[in-house]
Amino acid sequence: MKKITRLLFLAVTLMFTAFSMAQTTVTGTIMDAEMDAPLPGANIIEKGTTNGVSSDFNGYFTLITESTEGEIEISYVGYGKVVVKFSGSTSLGEVTLSSDNSLEEVVIIGSGIIDLAEDRKTPVAVSTITANQIREKAGNSDLPEVLKSTPSVQSVQAGGFGDGQLYLRGFDQTNTAFLLNGQPINGMEDGKMYWSNWSGVLDVANAVQVQRGLGASKLAISSVGGTVNIVTKTIDRKEGGFFQQMVGNDNYIKSTAYYSTGVNEKGWSFGALFGYWQGDGYVNYTQGQGQTYYISVGYQPNDNHAINFMLTGAPQWHAAAGSGDIQDFLDNGRRYNSWNFTGVNSDNNLHGGVYPGGRNIYHKPVANLSWDWTINDKSELSTVLYGSMGRGSFAQAQTSNGEVTYARGSNNNHNWYGLVTNYNNQLTENLNFNVGADVRLYNGIHFRDVREFMTIDSVSYSSGYSGGETYYLAEAGGINPWTVFFDPNTDHLQRFGYDYEEQINYAGIFTQLEYSKDQLSAFFQGALSNQSHVRTEFLNTSTPGKGEEGSKVNNIGFNLKAGAAYEITDMHKVFVNAGFYSRQPFHDILYVDDRGSNELYDPEIENEEITGFEAGYQFGGERIQANLNLYHTTWGNRTLVGNNGLDGVDYLSFQTFGVKQVHMGVELEVFTQPLHNLRVNGFISLGDWQYKDNATQRTFNEDGTEVGSELEVEIDGFNVGGAAQVTGGILADYEFLPRFSVDANWNFYNDMYSTGSLTEPTIAMPSYNTVDAGLSYKMLVGKDDRNSLQFRVNINNIFDEVYLESVNGNTAASSNPDENYKGVNTSNTGRFGYGRTWNTSIRFNF
């Protein structure tokens, strides 16, 4: 027995020796330059191949290669790459990485779902905002404001808390895909984003990446303009947390606390964040308040499995800013709010004796369960199961003889569940394959009810359930987002105006094949999906509370993307990408607008067609890096619906189909570091966005019957409005003392046009520019300086620039100069941007 054992031992030893002789082993430890701590999850790749590994939680790695000499490329999301030569089996010791302009922290859980540009060798047009930049710049603003200093992005603040809008390459938020850890979060019905529902997302964000144009996402999503990836905290490497207190203009206060246990010896981790904010708002009578909560539980039983559960939400309410003619703002100032009422009983006043004309109330918890499974050294599977339950209302004041009688709630509730899974396999040394699925189940619940009674105690209604007889609504749902969530109105007899539900089910598959060898890389992506829609009416039915299901439609959509890149030298890279989307129309435009119809338009609305081309050049020097991108996007076969806003026999709705937009442009982004303590970055975007060809319009009466004949709508050559077609900016950051820095950014906007009726030309708006500045100081405290106090001051629009931020209307300039403002007729509806605002914060990190 002993001889057999020895022979087996000798055989194994000889096999191991032969294996070792045929292969080279490179080891080392990856370290964070600033923290002097290990970097787990760093990527170590043999240059010119796809052979690579990741560092473990101690930063250690072992790379086995068949080459006896060569180079390995070490990278970490948020840090500059390092290339190290090797010759034979060797230990590199400690390799230090420093942070750069990319993502600041690695995402450990769900990394196979989150399509970040750094994960692919073939580039896309991309800009990344790191966790530190978010922490410093966000202040009391929404995400669009944080992203405004990236190419082809414009933020429109709109008025109240959370009402901001983002434009990307001239496309609004409905045509830009927003992802939270790889999970789609645009509205399933209309593609819209409401930042008030996500007011806490910046508190838990590790990074935000803007992928312009085709982007890196493999999902069949609404990325006409691009994709915004919001990457949140998951598992922290070590125990710690922070307390932060912020104050700002117009009585804004925000308190936030976060703690993470880190990963214990058994692989468990826990993190939680809670916050509270309130403020009066820059625009008069747009006060609001809300909370933020985030809970994360992680478990890593071994090196092959990582599981994380996350729950986050941001219950809030805020008063809305009413619209007005430009002349109204000139007469009353930039803070003017036309939408408020006085004389309400003091018990119901919200602020200063004024009841708001409109108030947004919403609570949308989002939960997801992520699982990363490393199957073997060549394959892995990532899966995210998610769900959200939105409950909320837009409470609009109803008046009689100038007095508020009650607040009518327009409720937009939903239940949304989904699954995204992705399998990755390293087929060969040079070929990588991905395949996955995207499933979404959505139930939208829409109705009107009473949110709050003022001078009356019931509301009568004479249609709907009762066959035309009058019935009374005597229950009020309230204006507290927590109450709205846990006690929603489920009584159909306490609803009026409209009451219907939507079921939208989506199922898609996607795949990607990526090739990389030496200086050449290429990829192909494809996605195929089916989206079904059905509408159920509850109000206009014969039996109270019993819904009647309408026509059902299934739409097939797909996208195809391909690209290639060539690394001319270590400093120069070029790439080209192309793609085609056949995108299903949004639910909101599928059904005839006849006040409760379940019937589809006839003929049914067809898919939109989006074609994109882009090319780029990247330069990477030691003190200067630059990205140059060219793009051409054609968005065709669009269908738009709307109405004249009237009630009764004069009510008309319109369907305009065959609308085409062409957006083309060039973007240049430059990063420089002339001194070790000075960074100066800049960008410029030159766009040309126009409608092409003409469209066709159909008209329908209140019963949904088509009236009249089809009309040709002449739109060819009209400029696309809403965002500046030329933007530019310069950002500078100077550390004049250790951990004491000042920064500033200048933004310029030109070639802006109004929004309004599609049948008339848009009007040119005046250009404007703004300057923001900030000051940061970090004080090291505690034993061995392990803790810190961070102080931050932001001043936005420091020179108090007065500018028109948005205009809705098509009225040309008047021949009377007194009726114009900088060339814009003051009878148009518009809104001025915020004047000088500020915020300051103190943060204790432990």
List the Cα angle 50/55/58 in 5-degree steps.
175
Amino acid at 390: G
Residue 390 in tokens? 């939105």
**Mean local confidence (pLDDT), 507-512:** 94
Residue 41, pLDDT score: 66
3-class secondary structure, 11: helix
Residue 87, pLDDT score: 84
Largest CA distance in the chain: 109
211-220, 575-584, 623-632: lowest mean pLDDT where? 211-220
Report whether 211 contacts 226 (CB < 8 A). yes
Q: Is the pLDDT of residue 759 over 90?
A: no
Give the range with max mean pLDDT: 1-15, 196-210, 517-531, 540-554: 517-531
Q: Which residue has the higher pLDDT, 281 or 352?
A: 281
Residue 122 in tokens? 């073939």
Q: Which residue has the higher pLDDT, 115 or 128?
A: 128
Q: Would you place residue 376 in the very low, low, confident or very high pLDDT band (cuts 50, 70, 90)?
A: very high
Nearby residues of 677 by Cβ (< 8 Å), 6 or more positions away:
734, 735, 736
CB atoms under 10 Å from CB of 73, counted, come to 16
Residue 109, pLDDT score: 53
Instruction: Write down the pTM of the prediction.
Output: 0.84
Classify 429 in phi/psi space as left (phi over 0), alpha (psi -120 to 50) or beta.
alpha
Element (H, E) at 330: helix 326-332
Q: Would you place residue 118 in the very low, low, confident or very high pLDDT band (cuts 50, 70, 90)?
A: low
**Mean local confidence (pLDDT), 199-203:** 80
Residue 69, pLDDT score: 85
Residue 14, pLDDT score: 35
**Mean local confidence (pLDDT), 666-695:** 93
Say how far apart CA 739 and CA 846 lie, in whole Å.
Answer: 17
- Phi first, then psi: give them for residue 372, nearest 5 degrees: -110, 125
Amino acid at 171: F
Q: Which residue has the higher pLDDT, 514 or 348?
A: 514
Residue 237, pLDDT score: 65
**Mean local confidence (pLDDT), 34-43:** 64
Residue 15, pLDDT score: 39
**Mean local confidence (pLDDT), 388-401:** 92
3-class secondary structure, 515: strand
Report whether 513 contacts 523 (CB < 8 A). yes
Residue 100, pLDDT score: 52
Q: Is the pLDDT of residue 266 over 50?
A: yes
**Mean local confidence (pLDDT), 171-195:** 89
Q: Which residue has the higher pLDDT, 39 or 1?
A: 39
In the 8-state DSSP scheme, what is residue 481? H
Residue 58, pLDDT score: 65
Residue with tokens 């009402």: 163
Q: Please, what's the b/e burial string for 284-301 (b: 16 or more CB within 10 A of its CB; e: otherwise)?
A: bbbbbebbbbbebbbbbe
DSSP states along 382-442? EEEEEEEEEEEEEEEEEEETTEEEEEEEEEEEEEEEEEEEEEEEE-SSSEEEEEEEEEEEE
Report whether 382 contacts 370 (CB < 8 A). yes
Residue 680, pLDDT score: 94
444-468 per-position pLDDT tens digit: 999 999 999 988 999 988 765 555 6
**Mean local confidence (pLDDT), 793-820:** 95
Residue 11, pLDDT score: 39
Residue 785, pLDDT score: 73
Q: Is the pLDDT of residue 210 over 50?
A: yes
Q: Give me the long-range contacts of 808-813 (CB less than 8 A, separation at least 24).
A: 808/323, 808/754, 808/755, 808/756, 809/754, 809/756, 809/763, 810/754, 810/756, 810/757, 810/760, 810/761, 810/762, 810/763, 811/763, 812/763, 813/763
Among candidates 624, 190, 727, which has minimal Cα distance to 442?
190
Nearby residues of 22 by Cβ (< 8 Å), 6 or more positions away:
66
Element (H, E) at 143: helix 143-146
Is the preceding peptide bond at 603 cis, omega within 30 degrees of 0? yes
Residue 119, pLDDT score: 64
Specify burial of residue 243 (Cβ count, 10 A radius: 0-12, 13-18, 19+): middle
List the Cα angle 492/494/498 in 5-degree steps.
65
14-23, 161-170, 314-323, 614-623: lowest mean pLDDT where? 14-23
**Mean local confidence (pLDDT), 432-442:** 95
Residue 413, pLDDT score: 96
Residue with tokens 């390459």: 169
Q: Which residue has the higher pLDDT, 683 or 116?
A: 683
Q: Is the pLDDT of residue 532 over 70?
A: yes
Say how far apart CA 299 and CA 747 lie, in whole Å.
Answer: 44
Q: Which domains does the chain have, with CATH numbers?
A: 2-97 (2.60.40.10), 232-845 (2.40.170.20)
Residue 649, pLDDT score: 62
Residue with tokens 């609009």: 396
Element (H, E) at 513: strand 496-517
**Mean local confidence (pLDDT), 650-677:** 91
**Mean local confidence (pLDDT), 721-729:** 95
Percent with pLDDT over 70 in the chain: 90
Residue 16, pLDDT score: 40
**Mean local confidence (pLDDT), 720-731:** 95
Q: Is the pLDDT of residue 9 over 70?
A: no
Residue 133, pLDDT score: 82
3-class secondary structure, 742: strand
Q: Is the pLDDT of residue 666 over 90?
A: yes
Q: Would you place residue 1 in the very low, low, confident or very high pLDDT band (cuts 50, 70, 90)?
A: very low
Report whether 444 contacts 189 (CB < 8 A). yes
Say how far apart CA 446 and CA 588 lie, in whole Å.
Answer: 12
Q: Which residue has the higher pLDDT, 203 or 689?
A: 689
Residue 135, pLDDT score: 82
Q: Is the pLDDT of residue 111 over 90?
A: no
Q: Which residue has the higher pLDDT, 220 or 681?
A: 681
337-346 per-position pLDDT tens digit: 988 887 555 4
Residue 694, pLDDT score: 94
Say how far apart CA 343 and CA 355 lie, in whole Å.
Answer: 8
Residue 840 in tokens? 């300051």
Length of the chain, in residues:
846
Report whether 217 contacts 177 (CB < 8 A). yes
Element (H, E) at 582: strand 572-583
Report whether 526 contacts 508 (CB < 8 A). no
Beta bridge partners of 545: none
Residue 290, pLDDT score: 94
Say how far apart CA 473 and CA 495 lie, in whole Å.
Answer: 7
Say how far apart CA 235 and CA 739 lie, in whole Å.
Answer: 27
Residue 603, pLDDT score: 87
Write down the mean pLDDT value for the chain.
86
Report whether 104 contacts 97 (CB < 8 A). no
Beta bridge partners of 536: 501, 549
Q: Is the pLDDT of residue 599 over 50?
A: yes
Report whether 203 contacts 275 (CB < 8 A). yes
**Mean local confidence (pLDDT), 250-274:** 92
Residue 252 in tokens? 């804004």
**Mean local confidence (pLDDT), 811-832:** 94
Q: Would you place residue 648 in the very low, low, confident or very high pLDDT band (cuts 50, 70, 90)?
A: low
DSSP states along 599-638? PBPSSPPPPEEEEEEEEEEEEE-SSEEEEEEEEEEEEEEE
Say how far apart CA 303 and CA 43 lie, in whole Å.
Answer: 16
Report whether 547 contacts 534 (CB < 8 A). no
